[in-house]
Amino acid sequence: MKKLLLASTAAALVASGAFAGGHAKEVKLGVQFGFTGPIESLTGPMAAGAEMAMAEVTESGKLLDAAKVTAIRADTGCIDNGLSTSNAERLIAEGINGLIGGDCSGVTGAILQNVAIPNGMVMISPSATSPGLSTVEDNDLFFRTAPSDAREGQVMAEILQERGVQSIALTYTNNDYGKGLADAIQSNFEAVGGEVTIVAAHEDGKADYSAEMGALASAGGDLLVVAGYLDQGGLGIINAALDTGAFDTFGLPGGMIGDSLPANVGSALDGSYGQIAGSGGEGIEKLKEMAGDAFDATSPYTPESYDAAALFMLAMQAANSTDPADYGKHILDVANAPGEKIYPGELGKALDILREGGEVDYVGASAVELIGPGESAGTYRMIEVQNGENVTIGFK
Amino acid sequence: MDFLNAIIALLNFVVVPAVAYGSQLALGALGVTLIYGILRFSNFAHGDTMAFGAMITVLFTWLFQSWGISLGPLPTALLALPIGILGCMALLLATDRVVYRFYREQKAKPVILVIVSLGVTFILNGLVRFIIGPDDQRFADGERFIVSARTFKELTGLREGLAIKTTQGITVITAVVVVALLFWFLNRTRTGKSMRAYSDNEDLALLSGINPERVVMITWLIVAGLATIAGVLYGLDKSFKPFTYFQLLLPIFASAIVGGLGNPIGAIAGGFVIAFSEVTVTYAWKKVLTYLMPEGLEPDGLVQLLSTDYKLAVSFLILLIVLLFKPTGLFKGKAV
């Protein structure tokens, strides 16, 4: 009954919105994620999250002159710079007012340099985490609701310190992500007085990790931090460490958090811990409620996607314009204090406040707080493996 | 006591893993070297042949596991291994019939066959991924350790543990048995002798009435057996992932060439040389030296000759040095 009521209310809202929108303008937002490629399983819920925010605003009929917000999806392939650039150009040609994306760090940089900057288009990425994107010359066109990996290093160092870890051995997957994260973990952990006994790279998909394990074991340490991928070399390293008895506890950064790791390693992983970008509390609970069975709102970077779309629309309202050159300056204003706190499902209320000249502090589903060059300060979910499952033990 | 600890640490992190890895490489290199010796080309499809044989074994292992059949402490995969070998034999005979025979009849140059085998590699690569998917597959069961590091420490009271996995034990024993059988076959049986004759001098062998098609067929059958056994042992010890088998091709070829292409003894020696060099040259000696050196003289650094990033470079450096001084490999193989 409740569902039926909700549905009919929504239908009525859509109908009235459509009626009012007959002569109102349309706002187009590009949604450019890797719908094919290495993270294709994540991008479905991400896009659904972004589109839910747009539907919410369209239904409220409160953005500008009851503008209708539509999403135009495009692919990045996650690792395909050529595809991403040409698709982004197509979106510009279709007249988007803002670009949600890209998803993976490499293609996000490519779209920014080749398309967004030349065309003066504002981008908000929900999932690009490379520290390199913090320092890129972006003409204030690039924002992200995901934290930089540099922040993850800081969080990990704090967690290790709180648990009384004195020394760690550190291995990373030999690419930009692994190296950047390993550097961040090492410098932060040393800054809080910890000792990093060795930093050794490992290649993904290699035949044998005995040599790496020999070196890591010889260097020793309270635990082994594996900054890699859970279905790649990271798994091989953990298996080699357990087999030789070199380490029995592991520090697991975001790339190692997933259900397949405890399933593949077995009970020996119990007691290992780590963190992944994500937040708890009111915002995510509301988003979960709103998403219902339509999609998994807790899927990685899905709350961030909802928030990216919401930030665009709130900034447009604050600037009273859909021109990137006008509303770009307002993104930081609506995201941060001062102002009334806004959670998912309250976008209509926020639009009202902004129209009346008030201020909002958008919290959203991922506890948005944009710092520095316009990136998320970053909330992390602390995970511990207990009885063969990843259990969330807190937030930081 | 400290001396014992040093020995155990060295055994646990260097000797045991290197011996197991070396056996896996040796079995792979034997297959490569047989094809080179008898069919006279470098078969780049060998890594993916291993993956194919292992894949069939994995599928049947799952079937047996679902029926509740097991070998107790030993992995069920050993039971499925003969089926995997049969499947792999069928595949290799089919590829020979469809692809290689055509080029053999043309008397194509070895370099053309090498490129053809590269094409076969990519087709097999796709086939395996298509059937079982690109992800890691688990099929190992039974007892995981012969001796685990923890039990060893409790038993001996030493500070260092020694772990020997069941799969490592099986790998080494199987490798010894297979190699012994292969040598017996090549040196003692009539078919084996005809294969060696064909390898030494094709024309003379033809004149003395050896049927070349039969020799070729038997070679493929043996190679199928070796590849499947190597693939399954590797998958049991590490994990089954199609892509890693493609990566395995490089160290396998390095082993075969260091030992001398076309020479079975060389293939085995080469496998161990490559495995030990990868592990020892990049080993950090800190732990071992800390036990051995008198108090106060323990090293602060890692005492590591080269970072592990360079382990692949090490095996190729050895390959270069060997080829500079002995162009046909450590044991006299055919000139490359």
- End-to-end, the C-alpha distance of chain B in Å comes to 50
Per-residue model confidence (pLDDT) at position B312: 77
Place of tokens 């309270």: A222
Per-residue model confidence (pLDDT) at position B232: 94
Predicted confidence (pLDDT) at residue A129 exceeds the cutoff of 80: yes
Does A218 contact B287 at a Cβ distance shorter than 8 Å?
yes
Predicted confidence (pLDDT) at residue A19 exceeds the cutoff of 50: no
| Chain A residues inside the 8 Å CB shell of B282 | 211, 214-215
Strand ranges (E), A126-194: 142-147, 167-173
Looking at chain A from residue 317 to 376, which residues have their Cβ under 8 Å from any Cβ of chain B? Answer: none
* Bond into A344 cis (ω within 30): no
Of B136, B163, B284, the CB nearest to A214: B284
**Band of residue A23 on the pLDDT scale cut at 50, 70, 90:** very low
| Chain A residues inside the 8 Å CB shell of B287 | 217-218, 220
Torsion of CA B6, B12, B15, B16, to 10 degrees: 160
What percent of chain B is helix, strand and coil (3-state, nearest 5)?
75, 5, 25
Predicted confidence (pLDDT) at residue A20 exceeds the cutoff of 50: no
Inform me whether the C-beta atom of residue A268 falls under 8 Å from chain B C-beta atoms. Answer: no
Predicted confidence (pLDDT) at residue A219 exceeds the cutoff of 80: yes
CA dist B143 and B236 (Å) reads 12
Q: Encoding tokens for residue B84?
A: 């995997």
Q: Encoding tokens for residue A237?
A: 């390293």
Is ipTM strictly over 0.90?
no
What is the gyration radius of the CA atoms in chain B, in angstroms? 21
Question: Residue A274 pairs with which residues in a beta bridge?
Answer: A252, A383
Q: Encoding tokens for residue B138?
A: 């688990």
A50-66 core/surface letters (b: 16 or more CB in 10 A; e: else): bbbbbbbbbbbbbbbeb
Of A215, A231, A240, the CB nearest to B282: A215
CA dist A126 and A142 (Å) reads 11
CA dist A59 and A57 (Å) reads 5
Residue of B nearest to A171 (CA): B308
Of A206, A215, A245, the CB nearest to B149: A245
Phi/psi of residue A167, nearest 5 degrees: -145, 145
Phi/psi of residue A102, nearest 5 degrees: -75, -165
Predicted confidence (pLDDT) at residue A116 exceeds the cutoff of 90: yes
Looking at chain A from residue 233 to 252, which residues have their Cβ under 8 Å from any Cβ of chain B? Answer: 235-236, 239-240, 243-246
CA dist A109 and A98 (Å) reads 16
Which residues does B93 contact at the CB level (< 8 Å), separation at least 6?
Answer: B217, B220, B221
Other C-beta atoms closer than 10 Å to the C-beta of B84 total: 27
Does B308 contact A200 at a Cβ distance shorter than 8 Å?
yes
Inform me whether the C-beta atom of residue A264 falls under 8 Å from chain B C-beta atoms. Answer: yes
What is the gyration radius of the CA atoms in chain A, in angstroms? 22
Print pLDDT tens along chain B (336 aa). Answer: 688 888 888 898 899 989 999 999 999 999 999 999 888 889 999 999 999 999 999 999 999 999 988 888 889 999 999 999 999 999 999 999 999 999 988 888 889 999 999 999 999 989 998 999 877 788 888 888 888 888 888 888 888 888 898 989 999 999 999 999 999 999 999 999 999 888 888 888 889 889 989 999 999 999 999 999 999 999 988 888 888 888 888 889 999 999 988 888 899 999 999 999 888 888 888 888 888 887 777 777 778 777 877 877 887 888 888 888 888 888 877 654
Inform me whether the C-beta atom of residue A215 falls under 8 Å from chain B C-beta atoms. Answer: yes
Residue of A nearest to B150 (CA): A245
Q: What is the DSSP letter of A72?
A: E
CA dist A287 and A280 (Å) reads 11
Instruction: Provide the shortest C-alpha distance from residue B17 to chain A (in Å).
Output: 6
CA dist A34 and A76 (Å) reads 4
Per-residue model confidence (pLDDT) at position B314: 83
Other C-beta atoms closer than 10 Å to the C-beta of B38 total: 21
A279-285 contact pairs (CB < 8 A, 24+):
A279/A303, A279/A365, A279/A366, A279/A367, A279/A379, A279/A381, A279/A395, A280/A379, A280/A381, A280/A392, A280/A395, A281/A367, A281/A395, A282/A343, A282/A363, A283/A343, A283/A344, A283/A363, A283/A364, A283/A365, A283/A366, A283/A367, A284/A365, A284/A366
Kindly report whether the global pTM for this prediction surpasses the value 0.80.
no
Q: For residue range A61-109, what is the model confidence (pLDDT) as tens digits?
A: 999 888 999 999 999 988 889 999 999 999 999 999 999 998 888 899 9
B10, B13, B146: which to substitute to probe chain A, counting the most A Cβ within 10 Å? B13
Residue A61's alpha-carbon distances to A8, A65, A313, A340, in angstroms, are 17, 8, 12, 20
Does B136 contact A218 at a Cβ distance shorter than 8 Å?
no
Of A211, A239, A243, the CB nearest to B308: A211
DSSP for A326-386?
HHGGGHHHHHSSSSEEE-TT-HHHHHHHHHTT--EEE-TTTT--EETTTEE---EEEEEEE
Instruction: Provide the shortest C-alpha distance from residue B212 to chain A (in Å).
Output: 36
CA dist A190 and A167 (Å) reads 9
Tell me the torsion sign for CA atoms A210, A211, A216, A218.
positive
User: In sequence order, which ranges of B40-147 are alpha helices (DSSP H)?
Assistant: 46-67, 77-95, 101-105, 110-132
Instruction: Provide the shortest C-alpha distance from residue A111 to chain B (in Å).
Output: 29
| Chain B residues inside the 8 Å CB shell of A202 | 308
Q: Residues of B at the A interface (Cβ-Cβ below 8 Å)?
A: 9, 12-14, 17-18, 21, 135-136, 138, 148-150, 161, 163, 165, 234, 238-239, 241, 243-244, 247-248, 251, 275, 278-279, 282-288, 302, 304, 307-309, 311
| Chain B residues inside the 8 Å CB shell of A246 | 13
Does B13 contact A206 at a Cβ distance shorter than 8 Å?
no
Other C-beta atoms closer than 10 Å to the C-beta of B187 total: 10
Other C-beta atoms closer than 10 Å to the C-beta of A361 total: 17
**Residues B218/B212, Cβ–Cβ less than 8 Å:** no
CA dist A80 and A167 (Å) reads 39
Of A231, A236, A244, the CB nearest to B13: A244
Q: For residue range A154-211, what is the model confidence (pLDDT) as tens digits?
A: 999 999 999 999 999 999 988 777 888 899 999 999 999 999 999 988 887 777 788 8
Q: What is the DSSP letter of B327?
A: T
Instruction: Provide the shortest C-alpha distance from residue B220 to chain A (in Å).
Output: 25
Per-residue model confidence (pLDDT) at position B88: 97
| Chain A residues inside the 8 Å CB shell of B284 | 198, 214-215, 218-219
**Band of residue A256 on the pLDDT scale cut at 50, 70, 90:** confident
Q: Encoding tokens for residue B283?
A: 């080993």
Q: Encoding tokens for residue A38?
A: 């290495």
CA dist A36 and A31 (Å) reads 14
Does B239 contact A236 at a Cβ distance shorter than 8 Å?
yes
**What number of CA atoms fall less than 13 Å from residue B295's CA on the CB side?**
0
